[in-house]
């Protein structure tokens, strides 16, 4: 009798375990990997105000106050032929213009022969102004938040961009 109860118990445990494992094995419908629809067009976003930092990443203080960099609106124009421009408009009314090139970051970037459109997970924009100022920004598809983010230097905050064809 004891053997029969133990046998039935193990049978039930095996049945329950197999049901649990089969339920875990079912895949939920995964969303496709996020990437920018295409890079050429206009990308715009606002870099928030942030504390200025020195080369070591320490906040800079002037007369006991944090030195603040005012927020700026960034407007990138990305051309299919590899050209790029940036207009940076600061909160205090200053406007800076940069021009340059962009390159795909993904090593397996593909080029569509019909549209001359390169696609990938991100692009690197190397830009300069007529004053000699140089800027390097990376526009990167953020798969977790499903947006495109702009990344500058490690001392400045990254921010989201919206696309306009």
Per-residue pLDDT tens digits for 97-149: 999 999 998 644 444 444 344 445 899 999 999 999 999 999 998 878 888 99
The residue among 98, 99, 79 whose CA lies nearest residue 39 is: 79
Structure tokens at 65: 């106050």
- Position 148 scores a pLDDT of 92
Contact 155, 164 (CB under 8 A): no
pLDDT tens track for 121-130: 899 999 999 9
What pTM was computed for the model?
Answer: 0.70
CATH number for the domain whose boundaries are 41-164: 2.40.128
Q: Taking the domains of the chain in order of start, what are their residue ranges?
A: 41-164
**How far apart, in Å, are the Cα atoms of 56 and each of 52, 98, 120?**
11, 27, 32
Using the structure block, give the residue that is written with the tokens 């032929």: 81
């Amino acid at each position: 009798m004891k053997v029969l109860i133990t046998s039935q118990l193990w049978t039930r445990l095996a049945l329950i375990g197999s049901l649990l494992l089969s339920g875990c094995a079912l895949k939920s419908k995964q969303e496709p990997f996020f990437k920018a629809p295409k890079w050429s067009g206009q990308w715009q976003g606002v870099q928030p105000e942030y504390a200025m930092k020195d080369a070591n990443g320490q906040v800079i203080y002037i007369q006991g106050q944090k030195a603040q960099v005012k927020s700026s609106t960034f407007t990138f124009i990305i051309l299919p032929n590899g050209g790029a421009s940036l207009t940076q408009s600061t909160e205090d009314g200053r406007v800076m213009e940069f021009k340059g090139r962009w390159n795909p970051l993904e090593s397996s970037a593909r080029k569509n022969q019909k549209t001359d459109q390169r696609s990938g997970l991100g692009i690197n924009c190397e830009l300069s102004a007529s004053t000699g100022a140089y800027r390097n920004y990376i526009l990167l598809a953020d798969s977790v938040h499903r947006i495109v983010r702009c990344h500058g230097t490690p001392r400045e905050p990254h921010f989201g961009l919206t696309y306009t064809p």
